[in-house]
Structure 1
Amino acid sequence: MTITRDTLLTLEAYARQRKALRAEAIAHRRLRSIGLGEHMTLQFEDEHTIRRQIQEMLHIEKIFEDEGIQAEIDAYAPLVPDGHNWKATVLLEYPDVHERRRELARLIGVEDRLFVEVEGHARVYAIADEDLDRETADKTSSVHFVRFELPAAARQAVRAGAQVRVGCDHTNYPAHLSIPAETLASLAGDLRG
């Protein structure tokens, strides 16, 4: 389903349902989140997570004009997978500000070293930050947006039950793991063909 102005709740309706919808949204987000190593989380997006994000932004910012609503849709809609890919928000989390500054300097380019590997298929590396460059010469950002463009055969394998690993082969952040079955089942639903 495409997110349009007509498919969103009004501010009033969302405000009434917000608390009731929160637990479901948190459970769905948790299902689609993968901790990779100690400091990285990949939050795989879908229509549900992005719709919730748009509704939250409209609620928080009290946006009710058509132009403002469309601007939020335009900003977030590119994060919804299109059936050929997985899209994720990548969070690099270091609670201590000094450690964060040091590690983000060591992790320049980490977003380009993220991969998914479908059983029996070649690794697919992330296409990162298509909206804007999020790193400088001195450090990477603590938030990145990535896309894993999966070939048709890999998509079919995932839908047929193949195992999938997610990982990072950056020199300063080597990590990988098999995507848990429940999470993989949710991600498989994002794929077509």
Structure 2
Amino acid sequence: MTAITPADILPLDAYEKVRKQTRAAIIALKRDRRLSVGPHITVFFECRDTMLYQIHEMLRAEKGGAAQLEGELAAYNTLVPNGRELVATMMIEIDDERLRARVLAGLGGIEETIALEVDGEAIPARPEDDVERTTADGKTSSVHFLHFPFSPAQVDRFRRPGARVVFSVSHPGYGHMAVLPPAMIAALMRDFT
């Protein structure tokens, strides 16, 4: 995958003209990149297209222009898979504010308990280290950015027809897993170059 550069960014007026079609295409793309894990976690596997869309949307919402662009590129390019990894945004989604506060308070360090298992071999998540996601009092953030670095042999195993791939969370307060469906595995294969 290649990093997103200023040359990839449409001027705001040009983006407005293609936004509706772009949004529809990203929604379709994300269908095979979204995974529910237990009652509260949703995982989105990112790619260059999802990050390019996100940058355009941030520039559109904040209207910061060229001054904003550098920061957006720095933030979102770290989430573009490098060809030897999968990258995911993990969200802990709970509508009820009091329940959310209670759950997040008990999930400190969750980012250290996540793995992808490919035919039984665990590939531990490497959390983004841009900011600390767990506070000193043990409360976790509701959003985590995760990298899953693969060896060449693990990529081959992932690509093997019938591979069983499982997203697992082994935190004592949230022990859940979800098997990636074949359509998702096929979509994620494109992230390896």
Shorter chain as normaliser: what TM range? Answer: over 0.9
- Give the aligned CA root-mean-square deviation in angstroms: 1.3
The two structures have a TM-score, normalised by structure 1, of 0.93
Contact persistence 2:169–2:176 (CA under 8 A): yes
Amino acid at match of 2:112: D
* Equivalence for 1:61: 62
Q: Unpaired runs of 5+ in structure 2?
A: none
Contact persistence 1:37–1:175 (CA under 8 A): yes
Structure 1 residue 37 corresponds to structure 2 residue 28:
no
Contact persistence 2:36–2:178 (CA under 8 A): no
**Distance apart, 1:64 and its partner CA:** 2.4
Structure 1 residue 183 corresponds to structure 2 residue 177:
no
Q: Once the two structures are aligned, what percentage of the paired residues are identical?
A: 38
Q: Secondary structure at the match of 1:79?
A: coil
**Distance apart, 1:21 and its partner CA:** 1.6
Counterpart Cα distance in 2 of 1:19 and 1:167 = 35
Q: What pairs up with 1:73-112 in 2 under 5 angstroms?
A: 73-112=73-112
Q: Secondary structure at the match of 2:42?
A: strand
Runs ≥4 in structure 1, deviation > 6 angstroms?
none
Counterpart Cα distance in 1 of 2:128 and 2:106 = 19
* Equivalence for 1:131: 130
Counterpart Cα distance in 1 of 2:160 and 2:59 = 38
**Distance apart, 1:116 and its partner CA:** 0.3
**Distance apart, 1:163 and its partner CA:** 2.1
**Distance apart, 1:2 and its partner CA:** 2.9
**Distance apart, 1:26 and its partner CA:** 1.4
Amino acid at match of 1:132: V
**Distance apart, 1:159 and its partner CA:** 2.0
Q: Secondary structure at the match of 2:20?
A: helix
Q: Secondary structure at the match of 1:108?
A: coil
Q: Secondary structure at the match of 1:75?
A: helix
**Distance apart, 1:150 and its partner CA:** 1.3
Q: Which deviations, in whole Å up to 9, do the C-alpha atoms of 1:141-167 show, x marking residues without a partner?
A: 001111111121111111233221111
Q: Which deviations, in whole Å up to 9, do the C-alpha atoms of 1:131-188 show, x marking residues without a partner?
A: 1112102300001111111121111111233221111111111111210111111111
* Equivalence for 1:146: 146
Counterpart Cα distance in 2 of 1:187 and 1:129 = 20
Contact persistence 2:34–2:44 (CA under 8 A): yes
Contact persistence 1:159–1:191 (CA under 8 A): no
Q: Which deviations, in whole Å up to 9, do the C-alpha atoms of 1:83-110 show, x marking residues without a partner?
A: 1111111100111111111111111111
Counterpart Cα distance in 2 of 1:62 and 1:13 = 14
* Equivalence for 1:164: 165
Counterpart Cα distance in 1 of 2:28 and 2:107 = 30
